[in-house]
Structure 1
Amino acid sequence: MPVRTIAFLARLVFRPHVRGTENVPPSGPVILASNHLSFVDSVVIGLVAPRRVAFLAKAEYFTRAGLRGRLTRRLFTALGAIPVERGTYHSARASLEASRRIVDAGNAFALYPEGTRSLDGRLYRGRTGVAWLALTTGAPVVPVGLRGTEKLHPVGARLPRPHRVTVHFGQPLAFPGRENSARARREVTDEVMTAIHALTDQPRATHYNESPPQAA
């Protein structure tokens, strides 16, 4: 199914209210750093962004059986998702390197500094991979604030439910001259999370979000 057809049908379901698309550079490398509320967040961002966006997705999304598995695989492939293994140190390093290659090639790349979905609506402490990627590639970071996606596709739901969502692209953040040190990565990540918070106004958590065994 063509992406345009998918986008048309999806917009009927989530009726997006989109702000700040002018903040996304029309070309060249850019990192979209978003809060994470639902399985469909990458789909929503990919369908409303003003340019094609690549993102990493768990490899099992591409290997699930049944109709739902086939639909997920086709949708993620059409949207530019790249399958990666998750869960080990080596797979984490491989994911970072895959992200770097995507950005270095001049693409828009979306990620979630929280690492996993927030199940209680809070905005958790960001992991420093976003800063490593920004400082390594020199690409600007556009903060993205999502609202309503957790109601569009609640945890445990088999299919999305009609619900309006808001996607707010914030002003780009640039970090020229910053060294790629552990301290700088922490500072840059905190700046990114503060920018995301300004777009979502979520309650903030001071600790990392840890995935329960069944969560994505």
Structure 2
Amino acid sequence: MFYYVAKTFAVAPAVNALFRPWVKGLDNIPEDGPAILASNHLSFSDSVFMPVKVPRPVRFLAKKDYFVKRGATGWVTRKFFDITGQIPMDRSGGRASQDSLDAGEKALREGALLGIYPEGTRSPDGRLYRGKLGVARLALRTQVPVIPVAMIGTDKVQPIGKKVPSIRRVGLIIGEPLTFEAYHDNAEDRFAQRAVTDEIMYQIMRLSGQEYVDRYAADVKRRLEAGES
């Protein structure tokens, strides 16, 4: 109820008036039942624009940092994420990351529309980076369709490091659902997971028109922060 009220009467009117987001392929999202929305990730605002244009509630695997911020702003952020059903994603690897994926799997088995950013973090330069295997694990274990999504222009609205967004138009392209029946019997095989992930990233690249880089975005960010090329 809170999700619909906040979206309908507060967030959506403001976003639609200021940014006039356009969308293509909305009919590719099923009216009910579980599915994964796998999107490129250019800006923090991606997680605002996508839910505004998608009729159904979207539950995101959101960076764990958003759930542990301090101060008044942190408290508001935590409460908003909790109330709207967002799922904290621990990116440290190992058991913690697996627990986060398990929570995403549970949401899918309950019929949710789950949003995930396969790159694992925002692109540092507007290019599309190698996808992590979590999206494939979820897709193969639950056997739900994966819907590729391309956010367009959101990096110009709110690039990394910018807190106040610029007012300009953005877009959203939603591709046809992908199913991976050929891999369902090999859900835990890393080669199968890599093949599925790469196909998802290819479809995102095709929709977004981004240059693809076969490296993890997080590794590139670390190198840039260390002053390496």
Instruction: Give the conservation status (yes or no) of the 8 Å contact 1:3–1:78.
Output: no
Q: Distance in 2 between matches of 1:143 and 1:68?
A: 32
Contact kept? 1:43, 1:79, Cα under 8 Å: no
Please show how residues 108-187 of structure 1 align to structure 2 within 5 Å.
108-178=113-183, 179-180=186-187, 181-187=189-195
Q: 1:66-113, CA deviations, whole angstroms, 9 ceiling, x for partnerless residues?
A: 454345335434543123444242211111111111111111001011
CA distance in 1, matches of 2:205, 2:14: 30
Confirm or deny that 1:31 pairs with 2:39: no
Consecutive unaligned residues of structure 1, counting only runs of 5 or more, are none
**TM-score normalised by the chain length of structure 1:** 0.91
Query: Could you tell me how far 1:13 is from its partner in structure 2?
Result: 2.9
Could you tell me the TM-score, scaled by structure 2's length? 0.86
Residue of structure 2 aligned with 1:3, choices 1, 7, 13: 7
Fraction of identical pairs, as percent: 43
Task: String of CA shifts for 1:14-58, please: whole Å, max 9, x gaps.
Answer: 220111110001110100000011112122212211211101223
Matched, 1:210 2:218: yes
Give the aligned partner of residue 195 of structure 1.
203
SS in 2 for 1:18: strand
Q: CA RMSD in A?
A: 2.1
SS state of the match for residue 93, structure 1?
helix
What letter corresponds to residue 38 of structure 1 in structure 2? S
2:51 counterpart letter in structure 1 = G
Q: Which residue of 1 aligns with 2:45?
A: 40
Moved more, 122-131 or 7-16: 7-16
CA distance in 1, matches of 2:192, 2:160: 35
Residue deviations 1:163-206 (CA, integer Å, cap 9, x gap) = 21110110000111412221111111111111101110101101
Aligned-partner Cα distance in 2 for 1:84–1:183 = 23
- How many residues were matched structurally? 215
Counterpart Cα distance in 2 of 1:84 and 1:182: 21
Looking at structure 2, the residues matched to 13 and 87 of structure 1 have their Cα atoms a distance apart, in angstroms, of: 36
Provide the rounded CA distance (Å) in 2 between the counterparts of 1:75 and 1:149.
Answer: 22
Q: How does 1:51-66 map to 2 (within 5 A)?
A: 51-66=56-71
Q: Structure 2: which 5+ runs fail to align?
A: none
Find the partner of 1:14 among 16, 19, 39: 19
Contact 2:89 2:97 in 1 (8 A): no
Q: Aligned partners of 2:47, 2:194: CA distance in 1, in Å?
A: 24
Residues 3 and 79, structure 1, Cα contact 8 Å, conserved in 2: no
What CA distance in whole angstroms lies between the structure 2 residues aligned with 1:75 and 1:163?
25
SS of aligned partner of 1:144: strand
The structure with more helix, counted as a fraction of residues: 2
Does the alignment pair 1:107 with 2:115? no
CA-to-partner distance for each residue in 1:142-176, whole Å, 9 max, x for gaps?
A: 00001111111121112222121110110000111
| 1:25 partner amino acid | P
Hey, what's the Cα distance between the residues in 2 that align with 1:85 and 1:148?
27
